[in-house]
Amino acid sequence: MAGRKNALTIDGRKVRFQPGQTLLEVARENGIDVPTLCHLERCKPTGACRVCVVEVKGARSLVTACTMPASDGLDVSTGTDRVLAARRLVIELLMASGEHDCATCESNGACLLQDLAYRYQVEKVRFGRTGEHPPREDSNPLIMRDFSKCILCGRCVQACEEIQVNQAISFGYRGARSKIVAKGDLPLEDSDCVFCGECVQVCPVGALLEKKAKGLGRTWEMNKVRTTCTYCGVGCQIHLHVRNNRVIKVTGVDGARPNHGSLCVKGRFGFEFIHAEDRLTTPLIKDSSGEFRPVDWDEALGHVAGRFMEIRDRRGGGALAGLTSARATNEENYLMQKLVRAGFGTNNVDHCARL
């Protein structure tokens, strides 16, 4: 109807919404917290975990807020006794689904299931643990898969299929034997996995881990330092997780452009060069005997500038050239070409990614 306003009531508040929004989106837009486990931004909602259930007046059963479309006149409650009891039951079932031993889990302090168990005061699990789980997979050097902690939320599958579009993993088997599989249940290194680590970043529990970071520190023991990945010119935003002045792991910055948290295999796992023992830590200048000697930055830069000027004055600017890198920032590449054109007096400048 023309001029009709879209509005519903949620926890006693009348709020407006845009056509196509879900109850979860409306709630969060209005500062009302509805918990989720399976929900993943940028992906189609599935309602798999049932943690986001809410009560809609007139409905016979609870509905999942992440999949329920908002519509005019709905009266929604997000914290009734019925809703809270349902969420606690779901959390209990998930806690009983595997080996969720927080004291020894690598994801202690960074686990959504742990957070929800604490929030809803699930102190005891009334259900016995399920049977045996597939063995832990750690045959590759980058990603460890612990199936005993997997809650089958599907976030890793959605991240692989809908965000990275690699389609390397999916659900396999049925019933109690259900698990996340790669190419007919092969190890990751034998599948179509490109080891971007998107699945690791979105895993809400400890089922997927950065293998190189295992045992090197808890979440609260690390400092997160935001920076820009240097592997190419895209400019992906990353967090360095640092403990004792060493980078333990790298994650993407959720919501930050241009990568919105996604990374490639180099950006996420290729950071060991930072602490390589043979990495240069000070400038070196080759003396008259042909041996390198360490110097400070002022002397090194002065030496390089002097040699550039000497060559330019003796042989002309055309004897010099500059080659820039896709691993540098746009600003650094701009300064490089300015040095060549204005300082050397030549247009001999090229870029490694031009071709």
Give 226-259 pLDDT, tens digit per residue.
Answer: 999 988 878 899 999 999 999 999 999 999 999 9
Using CA atoms, how far residue 187 sits from 108, 140, 144, 171, 184, in Å, is: 26, 8, 11, 14, 9
What's the pLDDT band for 194 if we cut at 50, 70, 90? very high
pLDDT at 1 over 50: no
What is the reported pLDDT for 124?
Answer: 87
What is the reported pLDDT for 315?
Answer: 96
288-292, 295-299, 332-336, 351-355, range with the lowest pLDDT: 351-355
For residue range 329-354, what is the model confidence (pLDDT) as tens digits?
788 899 999 999 999 999 999 988 77
243: three-class secondary structure by DSSP: strand
What's the pLDDT band for 298 if we cut at 50, 70, 90? very high
pLDDT at 22 over 80: yes
Q: DSSP letter at 341?
A: I
What letters, b where the CB count within 10 A reaches 16 and e where it falls short, cover 119-156? ebebeebeeeeeeebbeeeeeeebbbbbbbbbbbbbbb
Percent pLDDT > 70 in the chain is 98
For residue range 273-282, what is the model confidence (pLDDT) as tens digits?
999 999 999 9
Average pLDDT for 67-93: 97
What is the reported pLDDT for 47?
Answer: 95
Using CA atoms, how far residue 312 sits from 253, 300, 316, 339, 348, in Å, is: 44, 19, 4, 13, 13
What's the pLDDT band for 2 if we cut at 50, 70, 90? very low
Structural domain boundaries in the chain = 7-79, 216-279, 284-351
Q: What is the pTM of this model?
A: 0.85
What is the average pLDDT value for the chain, to the nearest integer? 94
Domains 7-79 and 216-279 share a fold: no
CB 76 within 8 A of CB 17: no
pLDDT at 67 over 80: yes
272: three-class secondary structure by DSSP: helix
What letters, b where the CB count within 10 A reaches 16 and e where it falls short, cover 219-254? eeebeeeeeebbbebeebbbbbbbeeeebbbbbbbe
What is the reported pLDDT for 5?
Answer: 65
What is the reported pLDDT for 132?
Answer: 82
CATH superfamily of 216-279: ADC-like domains (2.20.25.90)
Residue 92, CB-side half-sphere exposure with 13 Å CA sphere: 14
Which CATH number does 7-79 carry?
3.10.20.740
pLDDT at 3 over 60: no
pLDDT at 327 over 90: no
Q: HEC string of 111-126?
A: CHHHHHHHHCCCCCCC
- Residue at token pair 């009709």: 4
For residue range 93-135, what is the model confidence (pLDDT) as tens digits?
999 999 998 999 999 999 999 999 999 999 888 888 777 889 9
- Residue at token pair 């701009």: 334
Query: For residue 147, is it left (φ>0), alpha (ψ between -120 and 50) or beta?
Result: alpha
What's the pLDDT band for 91 if we cut at 50, 70, 90? very high
For residue range 147-156, what is the model confidence (pLDDT) as tens digits?
999 999 999 9
Average pLDDT for 50-67: 97
Greater confidence, 353 or 324?
A: 324
